[in-house]
């Protein structure tokens, strides 16, 4: 364990606020980072106090004055160097991530790769911060729009994607000319510090001002609430539960700031009678069980046509039986632990509710014991049969529970599909063109992401990521998501000797 801390010059106890190269003397409480793999304490963080948060916000504001004046392609070049630095540390950072949040190695490596991809994407975007030009209705006038850096921005991240989601925001924020105050999940504190260290060196080597990228680890009350209420931060991007988003959205709105909310999902896959079932089973397995069911895009509901309901359920149970559950760092393991005891309790509570609401557990759901399992965080992923009107179906339980819901007509399937408060990701498995087009049409899925013949999780960075309804409405990562990180300005220039007014208004003294 000592080795992985040393890889990043982390100590047994580390300050929780700084820039990656300069750290503050922190005054908050000690936070222990406990590995869900075996319950060992990986390291400790002395959290930031409210006063420490203020120091960070001042640094980020001061650094913004300088960073915004660096030309965007040059900012892109810094992001290119960050991507290269992460490339060289991919293995170590993935190991840190696995140890701290329990992701299996291939998924942890995939997450770090996503960071690298995001850097590459942002480098290209740095030369494409395009505004439109418009033809003015007034003679000899020119109209165009331009995008300016926005300011220091706040980025709040969840435990389950401790670095990729941050990179979606921070790398685009950086090329946009913003500085970043990152409040990571306390459950992934060391991974955040390791990331900050890798990146801090790049900024330092380029002689850039301290405070372009900042990390601040602290309690919700001392740091989180201060950050969201801070008028110095024009944008708060927050990823996490719906409850968190509701609070963040309200506080940011009350100061008329911008918020970008990426919240919980309750993702479903419709499996039609015309689906390629083999394909569906493979996709559902990854979507429902990958990251031990702890992705915002995890498949939680299968809405299966009654003709294939039984064979699909049987095939899934067979596949679940073959899952190797254990130490996520070992080869061949597909399911690691849940993040902590609380997550296991939540899963057990949900299983009780399912039974009390008339649902049936068809497979799994046990807490494993013996050997490494004795830490209490390992569970068998679970398949349940439920009716769509069970209240529990409306909720996101952040654990590997899969609901099987039968349907008869596509109309009914789509109605079930959209009948939840969340609207993140969705998919249909069908070989029928009409069915897939209906699903993708205005009549179909109401989610931010809609797929055909692939699962709901594992999105590529090139598209805009996010969801509707209680998922918060934010979009980040690819496409034109960069625009929210910038201030749009519409400019009109009069190069005539007249003063015509728009809409033909005459106003003046004879």
Closest approach, Cβ 263 to ligand NAD, in A, equals 5
Considering only 10, 202, 248, 288, the residue that binds ligand NAD (CB under 6 A) is 248
Q: Does 392 bind ligand NAD (CB under 6 A)?
A: no
Q: Does 185 bind ligand NAD (CB under 6 A)?
A: yes
Q: Strand pairing partners for 477?
A: 464
How far apart (Å, rounded) are the C-alpha atoms in residues 185 and 160? 9
The site map against ligand NAD for 190-229 (x = CB under 6 A) is ------------------------------x---xx--x-
Residue 404 tokens read as 């099987």
Residue among 111, 114, 262, 396 flagged as catalytic:
262
Q: Does 296 bind ligand NAD (CB under 6 A)?
A: yes
Q: Strand pairing partners for 156?
A: 183, 238
Considering only 97, 165, 281, 427, the residue that binds ligand NAD (CB under 6 A) is 165
Residue 303 tokens read as 């809405």
Residue among 26, 296, 382, 384 flagged as catalytic:
296
Considering only 81, 125, 160, 397, the residue that binds ligand NAD (CB under 6 A) is 160
**Could you tell me which of 184, 214, 215, 194 has the C-alpha nearest to residue 5?**
194
Considering only 119, 172, 263, 438, the residue that binds ligand NAD (CB under 6 A) is 263
How far apart (Å, rounded) are the C-alpha atoms in residues 377 and 102? 10
Considering only 158, 180, 213, 484, the residue that binds ligand NAD (CB under 6 A) is 158
Interface with ligand NAD in residues 397-436 (CB under 6 A):
398, 424
List Cβ neighbours of 200 (8 Å cut-off, separation of 6 or more): 18, 19, 20, 21, 22, 213
How far apart (Å, rounded) are the C-alpha atoms in residues 411 and 401? 25
Q: Binding segment for ligand NAD among 157-165, 274-282, 313-321, 349-357 (CB under 6 A)?
A: 157-165
Considering only 80, 141, 232, 247, the residue that binds ligand NAD (CB under 6 A) is 247
Q: For this structure, is 210 an active site residue?
A: no
Q: For this structure, is 296 an active site residue?
A: yes
Alpha-carbon dihedral angle through residues 461, 467, 472, 477, given to the nearest 10 degrees = 10
Considering only 20, 240, 287, 400, the residue that binds ligand NAD (CB under 6 A) is 240
**Could you tell me which of 36, 16, 52, 5 has the C-alpha nearest to residue 336?**
36
How far apart (Å, rounded) are the C-alpha atoms in residues 291 and 313? 21
How far apart (Å, rounded) are the C-alpha atoms in residues 301 and 445? 14
**What does the DSSP assignment read for 273-310?**
TTS-HHHHHHHHHHHHHGGGG-STT-EEEEEEEHHHHH
How far apart (Å, rounded) are the C-alpha atoms in residues 367 and 350? 13
How far apart (Å, rounded) are the C-alpha atoms in residues 49 and 38? 30
Nearer to ligand NAD, 259 or 313 (CB): 259
Q: Binding segment for ligand NAD among 53-61, 156-164, 282-290, 451-459 (CB under 6 A)?
A: 156-164
Q: Binding segment for ligand NAD among 256-264, 360-368, 479-487, 499-507 (CB under 6 A)?
A: 256-264
Q: Does 79 bind ligand NAD (CB under 6 A)?
A: no
Nearer to ligand NAD, 15 or 467 (CB): 467
**Could you tell me which of 407, 396, 367, 379 has the C-alpha nearest to residue 320?**
379
The residues that touch ligand NAD, with contacts defined as CB under 6 A, are: 156-161, 165, 183, 185-186, 220, 224-225, 228, 239-241, 244, 247-248, 262-265, 296, 396, 398, 424, 471
Name the residues annotated as catalytic.
262, 296
């Amino acid at each position: 364990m000592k080795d992985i801390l040393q890889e990043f010059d982390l100590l047994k106890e580390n300050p929780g606020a700084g820039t990656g190269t300069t750290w503050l003397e922190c005054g908050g409480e000690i936070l222990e980072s406990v590995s869900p793999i075996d319950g060992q304490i990986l390291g400790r963080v002395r959290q930031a106090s409210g006063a420490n948060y203020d120091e960070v916000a001042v640094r980020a504001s001061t650094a913004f004055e300088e960073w915004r004046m660096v030309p965007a392609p040059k900012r892109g070049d810094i992001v290119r160097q960050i991507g290269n630095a992460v490339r060289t540390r991919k293995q170590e950072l993935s190991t840190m991530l696995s140890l701290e949040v329990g992701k299996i190695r291939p998924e942890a490596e995939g997450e770090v790769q996503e960071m690298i991809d995001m850097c590459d994407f942002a480098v290209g975007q740095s030369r494409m911060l395009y505004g439109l030009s418009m033809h003015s209705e007034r003679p000899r006038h020119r109209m165009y729009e331009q995008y300016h850096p926005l300011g220091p921005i706040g980025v709040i991240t969840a435990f389950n994607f401790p670095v990729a989601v941050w990179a979606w925001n921070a790398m685009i924020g950086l090329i946009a000319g913003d500085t970043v105050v990152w409040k990571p999940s306390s459950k992934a504190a060391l991974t955040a510090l390791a990331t900050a260290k890798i990146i801090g060196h790049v900024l330092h080597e380029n002689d850039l001002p301290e405070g372009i990228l900042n990390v601040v680890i602290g309690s919700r009350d001392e740091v989180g609430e201060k950050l969201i209420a801070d008028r110095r931060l024009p944008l708060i991007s927050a990823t996490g539960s719906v409850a968190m988003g509701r609070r963040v959205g309200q506080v940011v709105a009350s100061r008329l700031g911008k918020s970008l909310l990426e919240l919980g999902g309750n993702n479903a896959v419709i499996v039609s009678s015309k689906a390629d079932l083999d394909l569906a089973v493979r996709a559902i397995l990854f979507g429902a069980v990958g990251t031990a069911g702890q992705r915002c895009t995890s498949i939680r509901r299968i809405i299966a046509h009654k003709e294939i309901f039984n064979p699909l359920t049987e095939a899934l149970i067979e596949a679940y039986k073959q899952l190797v559950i254990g130490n996520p760092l070992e080869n061949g393991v597909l399911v690691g632990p849940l993040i902590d005891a609380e997550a296991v309790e939540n899963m057990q509570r949900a299983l009780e509710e399912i039974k009390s609401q008339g649902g049936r557990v068809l497979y799994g759901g046990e807490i494993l014991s013996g050997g490494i399992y004795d830490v209490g965080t390992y569970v068998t992923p679970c398949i349940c049969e439920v009716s769509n009107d069970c209240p529990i179906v409306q909720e996101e339980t952040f654990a590997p529970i899969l609901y099987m819901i039968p349907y008869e007509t596509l109309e009914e399937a789509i109605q079930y599909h959209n009948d939840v408060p969340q609207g993140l990701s969705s998919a249909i498995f069908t070989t029928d063109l009409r069915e897939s087009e209906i699903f993708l049409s205005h009549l179909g899925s109401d989610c931010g992401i809609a797929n055909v013949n692939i699962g709901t999780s594992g999105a590529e960075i090139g598209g805009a990521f996010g969801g509707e309804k209680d998922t918060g409405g934010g979009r980040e990562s690819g496409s034109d998501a960069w625009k929210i990180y910038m201030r749009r300005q519409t400019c009109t220039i009069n190069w005539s000797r007249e003063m015509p007014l728009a809409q033909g208004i005459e106003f003046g003294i004879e």
